[in-house]
Amino acid sequence: MGEPLRNTYVLVDGENIDATLGASILGRRPRPEERPRWERLLQFATERWGQPTSGLFFLAANNELPMPFVQALLAIGYRPIPLSGGPGEKVVDIAIQRTLVELGHRDADVLLVSNDGDFVEQMRDLLDGRRVGVIGFAEFRNQTFLQLADQGLEFFDLEYDVSAFNERLPRVRIIPIEEFDPAQFL
């Protein structure tokens, strides 16, 4: 019998992705059809690294639990983690940082879904031979993550690599010439 497969933990900073999508890309609150198809993220992770995937979706839920969203996350295979805290306390960031530290004690790979630089230190600590990646919007990713590329940190774009959206987003990005298709601009 072979060795059991490692697990990939996908940690989603939903607030960060939603805020980037709304404020920086769309310039307004995203409509439901413009939000990521979160099930595609789990499928991408499973296929990309060829091993089982566990999705943890961190939510700030100070006074109410968004049950329809929580139920939808459960139905597609995520474990929702609703959090509360004091005024001004960044509960999602705190929880993700603690989870990244805990994952450092486990034999697992990690994909962080966030553009937020608050996790750079914990991600650096995970670069000990395991596979570690960041998924987000390349043009809004905290640049400090790039310092970890030579240590093995992988980067994936939520739209272009994961294909998490049903519609093309109105993004302006640097296009590698081998990907340039003039038909997209005509």
Whole-model pTM: value is 0.91
d(CA 36, CA 14): 10
Contacts of 145 (CB under 8 A, 6+ apart): 117, 120, 123, 134, 153, 155
Interior angle at CA 154, CA 89 and CA 44, nearest 5? 85
Superfamily grouping for domain 7-185: 5'-nuclease (3.40.50.1010)
Give backbone dihedrals phi and psi of 165, rounded to 5 degrees, phi first: -120, 145
Q: Tell me: the pLDDT tens digits for 114-125?
A: 999 999 999 999
Q: What is the pLDDT of residues 131-186, one digit of tens each?
A: 999 999 999 999 999 999 999 999 999 999 999 999 888 887 777 788 888 887 78
